[in-house]
Amino acid sequence: MSTLKAVIMTDDAQTPAIRLRGVSKRFPGAKEDAVAAMDLDVDRGAIVALIGPSGCGKTTTLRMINRLIEPSAGTIEIEGRDVTNQPAMQLRRGIGYVIQQVGLFPHRTIAANIATVPRTLGWEKARIDDRVRQLAEVVGIDTAMLSRYPDELSGGQQQRVGVARALAADPPVLLMDEPFGAVDPIVRGRLQEELLDLQREVRKTIVLVTHDLDEAVKVADRIALLNVGGVVEQYASPDELLRAPANGFVEEFVGEDRSMRRLALATVGDLPFEPGPVIEVAADPAAGLAVIDEHRTDWLGLVDDEVFLGWVPRDQVAGGGALADAQRYLPAAQVAPSSTLRSALEVIMTSRTSVAVINDDGRFRGTVTLERIRGGLAGDLDGPAERAA
């Protein structure tokens, strides 16, 4: 995986998967540009979110990439190739497209819907059937549903089919226009997770339009925040956008609670750990007392060769008995490296003890404290890179 990524990275340096240069759009009869001279590079294999208030031209920009809307000026290149150099229909067959209302063909079965582009491209039937089954599995559609019609499916299932249909001919680029806007928040959250899982597998270059900052922060590697008239106010990683808004507009858009959003974005693993008031279970009780005093706390953590055993209250340690015999409190006060800082904060706020970071295999990694989180927020957390790796 890491080699693959390195290869992609070097490629990225030469040609971005999608490159917009001076792309603008003014609709006939309009006084203002819908999109004003936009430059934008999208790295290969990245998810880029276009976000902004209504009228910011985010959907227009997306549709110019596959020429559903023709730009008034400027050039758009995909993989270094000008999109106007080929017939629009041919171009579109090489670009996946997912929209909020899904737009499945009501008169065709799920299988036939997914097969739309391969059929247009004249694939053989056996190859199409294989591909449809494979995609159903990838997006989590039961193969028993393949012979059903779209109206028999729930909104979430329809959107999965929409994604499968977009991926059918294995296009390198996927365009998504508010793909999860029409489903309820629970399903939306699940579909977002699935998109990230899917992306780890298929590694497409994805441009996603959304009006939901949380969605952009959650799924995107980079966010382009657009202002009315199609002006890019900031193009940065989610963490950078939240940590260092480029101007007043961005600051207002990301909101006063942007630090809280960053907490949801970064994980405990992004922070440096500190040892905390923790000692080997075999140690002398007096040494334990010294550790407690040094950390000005009331609880001592015990580990046995990296395995975290639990927290012991100060009076038990002060009693002078062997630490191994002290009564331990294990459960609440621990988090995993993959926990978000938001959930770590929740644990810190509700625990009397320090909070231990425990690996999935039970090994003790260190403790996480309010000070560490605050310190982390001051710096560069860059959650998405971590997640993408």
CA–CA distance from 14 to each of 41, 83, 326 (Å)?
11, 18, 62
**DSSP at 377:** H
Kindly tell me which residue out of 44, 97, 178, 194 binds another protein, with binding defined by CB under 8 A: 97
- Which residues lie across from 307 on neighbouring strands? 304, 363
Kindly tell me which residue out of 42, 64, 117, 254 binds another protein, with binding defined by CB under 8 A: 117
Residue with Cβ nearer another protein (117 or 357): 117
Kindly tell me which residue out of 8, 37, 73, 91 binds another protein, with binding defined by CB under 8 A: 91
Go through the chain and tell me how many residues it has: 389
Label residues 315-347 b or e (16+ Cβ within 10 Å = b): ebbeeeeebeebebeeeebbbebebbbbbbbeb
Q: By CB under 8 A, is residue 204 in contact with another protein?
A: no
How many residues bind another protein (CB under 8 A)? The answer is 33
Terminal CA-CA length for the chain: 8
Q: By CB under 8 A, is residue 99 in contact with another protein?
A: yes
Pattern 215-234, binding to another protein, x per CB under 8 A?
--------------------
Q: By CB under 8 A, is residue 122 in contact with another protein?
A: no
Distance (Å, rounded) from C-alpha 332 to C-alpha 327? 15
Q: Under a CB-based contact definition with an 8 Å cutoff, are residues 276 and 294 in contact?
A: no
Least distance from C-beta 151 to another protein, angstroms?
A: 5
Residues 329-368 that bind another protein (CB under 8 A): none
H or E stretch covering 153: none
Distance (Å, rounded) from C-alpha 356 to C-alpha 133? 45
Least distance from C-beta 90 to another protein, angstroms?
A: 7
Kindly tell me which residue out of 40, 104, 174, 223 binds another protein, with binding defined by CB under 8 A: 104
Least distance from C-beta 196 to another protein, angstroms?
A: 23
Kindly tell me which residue out of 10, 54, 85, 90 binds another protein, with binding defined by CB under 8 A: 90
Distance (Å, rounded) from C-alpha 246 to C-alpha 252? 11
Kindly tell me which residue out of 106, 122, 272, 331 binds another protein, with binding defined by CB under 8 A: 106
Tokens 């009315």 -> residue: 228
Q: By CB under 8 A, is residue 89 in contact with another protein?
A: yes
Residue with Cβ nearer another protein (162 or 288): 162
Kindly tell me which residue out of 38, 47, 56, 102 binds another protein, with binding defined by CB under 8 A: 102
Pattern 59-78, binding to another protein, x per CB under 8 A?
-------x-x----------
- Backbone φ and ψ of 179, nearest 5°: -65, -25
Helix intervals (H) in the chain: 2-14, 58-65, 88-93, 110-114, 116-120, 125-139, 155-167, 185-202, 213-219, 238-243, 248-254, 258-265, 285-294, 314-318, 341-350, 370-378, 383-388
Least distance from C-beta 110 to another protein, angstroms?
A: 11
Please count the helices (runs of H) and the strands (runs of E) in the chain.
17, 16
Q: Under a CB-based contact definition with an 8 Å cutoff, are residues 384 and 264 in contact?
A: no
Pattern 130-169, binding to another protein, x per CB under 8 A?
------------------xxxxx---------x--x----
Q: How many CA atoms lie within 13 A of 44 on its CB side?
A: 20
CA–CA distance from 59 to each of 46, 79, 100, 192, 370 (Å)?
18, 21, 11, 19, 41
Least distance from C-beta 119 to another protein, angstroms?
A: 9
Kindly tell me which residue out of 21, 26, 108, 314 binds another protein, with binding defined by CB under 8 A: 108
Least distance from C-beta 233 to another protein, angstroms?
A: 28
Q: By CB under 8 A, is residue 116 in contact with another protein?
A: yes
The stretch near another protein (CB under 8 A) out of 102-110, 131-139, 200-208, 351-359 is: 102-110
The stretch near another protein (CB under 8 A) out of 112-120, 275-283, 331-339, 360-368 is: 112-120
Kindly tell me which residue out of 2, 107, 186, 296 binds another protein, with binding defined by CB under 8 A: 107
Least distance from C-beta 101 to another protein, angstroms?
A: 4
Residues engaged in binding another protein (CB under 8 A): 66, 68, 88-95, 97, 99-109, 116-117, 120, 148-152, 162, 165, 175
